[in-house]
């Protein structure tokens, strides 16, 4: 698709057309994001693009003089201040109080009283907080004034807690005998020691404290710890020579021994360089052509046991895809039948019977063979149908099929959940599959609930309601710290609607001051 070339004339013409069609000025930028971006680049700003089209921007262009004039019209007459005016006043004057002072009008916001701190008051407040059951570790978030006073008066918060008689408890460490007993008991119960190290941080910390490393603690408990291979040049060369002596191909080490391959590349700069240092001559890369690929494919097709080109000869597989585009095209150019097409109904049935007699994992589709599973679906429509054709429907186990969701099933499940007495607000926690399916098919959970003729339990707040809640807390003298437990939900709503907590406070006409002063 050819990309459109934007010019100033096209942008102006498009803006005028949208305006003539009745699009509001404040909604013009949403009509075509690509054009909006290009218009900003061509004219320097979106406001200049609107001016070039003869359209007056709906957004107020604030200045210090305009802020003062608006304050005299509103605050001077005792009227409520527009949130945009509060934001502009804060931007140009620093605070709403400074803006009102510059405009010569009274500021209706009151300065919160400052508390004078000394050591006795700080100790008393720490003790009161502890007696009320509050966490002293959360003081910095829940009571920043007390936390700052404690650090200022005592040097650190840890020393302040100790002076108040509530020092930070030391870390608990198990004894060496307890560590060994816990490991042995866990292994006796059939558990995994690596998983135990992840799940039990206390045991892991205690093991490191007494034994230095987790692996040394495992050895002390009478088990063999699995240690990561640490390579150097000498060990890499020795491992390569041992691999060759054991009859393994060095060129397949990248797939069969990834640790050795990475160690060789890290210490020698590449696998070929490591082979030369170890006394082996690297195999030269084969030069491919279409004719050579065709010859090799014909020779490969004569092998009766090979049915997957990518597994049996990866170099030939890559070359075939590079020169012909796909395996199918390469086989067609060679004039031989593709292995994927060699499957017939008879061969699928025979393969299923052979795999079952051999004792392969019968609970997996295709007995774990993707080629067999694909052929079964292609010839019989499903894996159970292929198994039934093989006469083994009563002997082969099947995993339960995944539930297929659609809008009708989502609505039916929501109604059934509601009729059974469950709360709709608990679906995301107790029935995650239904919750995610509802969001997939309806966009949001509430839209799915409405489609099911039910009323969403979660309430939606408007900007006006959020600002009113902030003002009520201010009038009641309650905390407006976003980290306070009683303010967290309100802060999340404010951030969702206004971008940040500070912008919400500014829109509500509430001035948020810096840290309180403390006495030395």
How far apart (Å, rounded) are the C-alpha atoms in residues 203 and 195? Answer: 12
Which residues have CB under 8 Å from 46's CB, separation 6+? 29, 36, 39, 40, 57
| Token reading at 88 | 């502009």
How far apart (Å, rounded) are the C-alpha atoms in residues 389 and 285? Answer: 47
DSSP H helices, 143-200, are 144-154, 157-163, 176-188, 193-199
Backbone angles phi, psi at 176, to 5 degrees: -60, -40
Residues in the chain with pLDDT values less than 70:
1-4, 58-59, 76-79, 108-114, 285, 304-308, 310-312, 337-342, 360-363, 398-403, 457-460, 511-520
H or E element that contains 239 = helix 233-245
Q: What is the structure's pLDDT at 518?
A: 34
Crossing angle of helices 290-301 and 314-324, in 10° steps, is 130
Q: What is the structure's pLDDT at 516?
A: 40
DSSP H helices, 359-396, are 370-380, 383-389
Q: How is residue 170 annotated by DSSP?
A: P
Contact yes or no for 466/497 (Cβ under 8 A): yes
Contact yes or no for 261/271 (Cβ under 8 A): yes
Q: What share of the chain is helix, strand, coil (3-state, %, to 5)?
A: 65, 0, 35
Q: What is the structure's pLDDT at 514?
A: 45
User: What digits encode the pLDDT tens for the residues 243-295?
Assistant: 888 888 887 887 788 888 989 898 998 888 998 899 988 777 677 888 888 88
116, 257, 300, 312 from 251: Cα distances, Å: 76, 11, 20, 14
User: What digits encode the pLDDT tens for the residues 202-219?
Assistant: 888 888 888 888 888 888
Q: What is the structure's pLDDT at 134?
A: 86
User: Half-sphere exposure of 508 toward its Cβ, with a 13 Å CA cutoff?
Assistant: 28
Q: What is the structure's pLDDT at 513?
A: 45
pTM over 0.85: no
| Token reading at 451 | 């489609």
130, 236, 242, 391 from 281: Cα distances, Å: 74, 16, 16, 54
Max Cα–Cα distance, the chain, nearest Å: 98
């Amino acid at each position: 698709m050819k990309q459109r070339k934007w010019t100033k004339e096209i942008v102006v013409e498009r803006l005028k057309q949208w305006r003539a069609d009745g699009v509001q000025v404040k909604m013009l930028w949403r009509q075509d994001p690509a054009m909006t971006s290009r218009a900003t680049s061509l004219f320097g700003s979106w406001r200049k693009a609107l001016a070039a089209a003869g359209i007056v921007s709906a957004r107020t262009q604030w200045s210090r003089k305009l802020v003062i004039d608006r304050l005299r019209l509103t605050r001077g007459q005792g009227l409520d201040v527009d949130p945009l005016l509060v934001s502009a006043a804060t931007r140009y004057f620093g605070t709403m109080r400074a803006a009102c002072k510059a405009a010569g009008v009274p500021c209706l916001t009151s300065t919160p009283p400052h508390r004078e701190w000394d050591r006795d008051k700080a100790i008393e407040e720490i003790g009161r907080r502890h007696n009320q059951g509050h966490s002293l570790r959360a003081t910095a978030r829940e009571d920043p004034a007390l936390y700052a006073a404690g650090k200022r008066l005592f040097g650190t918060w840890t020393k302040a807690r100790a002076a108040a008689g509530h020092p930070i408890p030391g870390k608990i460490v198990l004894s060496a005998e307890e560590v060994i007993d816990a490991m042995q008991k866990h292994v006796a119960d059939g558990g995994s020691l690596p998983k135990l190290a992840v799940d039990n941080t206390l045991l892991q910390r205690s093991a490191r404290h007494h034994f230095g490393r987790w692996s040394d603690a495992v050895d002390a408990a009478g088990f063999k710890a699995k240690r990561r291979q640490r390579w150097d040049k000498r060990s890499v060369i020795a491992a390569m020579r041992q691999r060759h002596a054991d009859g393994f191909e060095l060129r397949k080490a990248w797939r069969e021994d990834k640790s050795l391959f990475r160690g060789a590349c890290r210490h020698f700069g590449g696998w070929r360089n490591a082979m030369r240092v170890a006394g082996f001559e690297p195999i030269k890369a084969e030069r491919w052509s279409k004719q050579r690929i065709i010859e090799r494919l014909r020779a490969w097709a004569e092998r009766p046991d090979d049915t997957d080109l990518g597994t049996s000869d990866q170099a030939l597989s890559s070359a075939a895809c590079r020169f012909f585009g796909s395996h199918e095209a390469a086989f067609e150019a060679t004039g031989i039948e593709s292995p994927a097409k060699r499957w017939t109904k008879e061969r699928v049935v025979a393969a299923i019977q052979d795999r079952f007699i051999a004792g392969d994992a019968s609970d997996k589709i295709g007995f774990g063979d993707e080629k067999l599973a694909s052929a079964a679906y292609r010839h019989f429509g499903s894996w159970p149908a292929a198994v039934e054709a093989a006469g083994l429907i009563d002997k082969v186990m099947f995993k339960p099929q995944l539930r297929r969701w659609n809008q009708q099933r989502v609505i039916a499940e929501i109604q059934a959940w509601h009729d059974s007495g469950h709360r709709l607000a608990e679906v995301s926690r107790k029935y995650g599959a239904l919750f995610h399916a509802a969001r997939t098919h309806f966009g949001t959970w509430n839209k799915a609930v409405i489609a099911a003729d039910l009323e969403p339990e979660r309430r939606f707040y408007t900007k006006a309601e959020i600002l009113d809640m902030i003002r009520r807390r201010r009038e009641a003298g309650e905390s407006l710290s976003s980290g306070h437990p009683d303010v967290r939900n309100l802060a999340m709503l404010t951030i969702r609607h206004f971008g940040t907590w500070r912008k919400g406070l500014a829109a509500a006409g509430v001035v948020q001051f810096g840290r309180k002063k403390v006495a030395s």
